[in-house]
Amino acid sequence: MTDFAQAVQDILAAGQRMDNRGWVPATAGNISRRLADGRIAITRSGGHKGFLQAADVITVDENGKPHDAGNRPSAETLLHCQIYQQDPSAGAVLHGHSVASTVLSMIEPTEALQLSDYEVQKVFEGQTTHDATLAVPLFRNDQDIARLAREVAPHFGVMPAGYIIRGHGVYVWGKDMPTALARLEGLEFLLACLLERRKLGV
């Protein structure tokens, strides 16, 4: 199997898992994987991530330009490219739209959500104990993706749990697709816990 063919299978499987968890409703979200030759395999714009077919995965260069001019990548492709440029170890990027990430990011008045005392925090790189506080930065939603990318840029290197765009969703990445999926599941679990605690007033 070629590297691209394997990447397609990784992306399709990730889309089904994210859909099963309710993290990519309608046509929301996007998924990518870096190829060995430097290209980026990514979901094309507009497809439902739970019903992806091989033809729904295209390739773009490091700046987000499609190799086939007839293909239209998501407008948010630039944010995937930025992660690969900023983190040479990143091999996969996941972007989802869960209820917890959407609601919490809209009601949180500070610039980050604080996650503390959860065992699951250890899924993130550099976290070795529950006895710590992990900040997940929040950025204002912006249809100008290049401007949004400039807001995110200074925070690379201090976002082990990824980041959240307010009212929009999460961005999580890892060295490969299994790692990225584990981090997404860990973050979504922690966000769900935080939302439940706020409902309970604790």
At 72-94, the pLDDT tens digits run 888 899 999 999 999 999 999 99
d(CA 92, CA 130): 26
Average pLDDT (18-43) is 96
> What residue numbers does the annotated binding site cover?
95, 97
Read off the tokens for 193.
């816990």
d(CA 3, CA 151): 33
pLDDT at 2: 94
Give all domains of the chain, ordered by start, each with its CATH number. Answer: 3-200 (3.40.225.10)
pLDDT at 119: 92
Q: For residues 178 and 130, which has the higher predicted lDDT (pLDDT)?
A: 178
Helical H segments across the chain, by residue range: 3-20, 77-86, 99-107, 145-152, 177-200
Phi and psi, residue 32, nearest 5° = -145, 160
pTM for the model stands at: 0.95
Q: Is the pLDDT of residue 145 over 80?
A: yes
> What residue numbers does the annotated binding site for Zn(2+) cover?
95, 97
Least confident interval from 44-58, 116-130, 138-152: 116-130
Tell me the pLDDT of the chain averaged across its residues.
Answer: 95
Q: Is the pLDDT of residue 202 over 90?
A: no
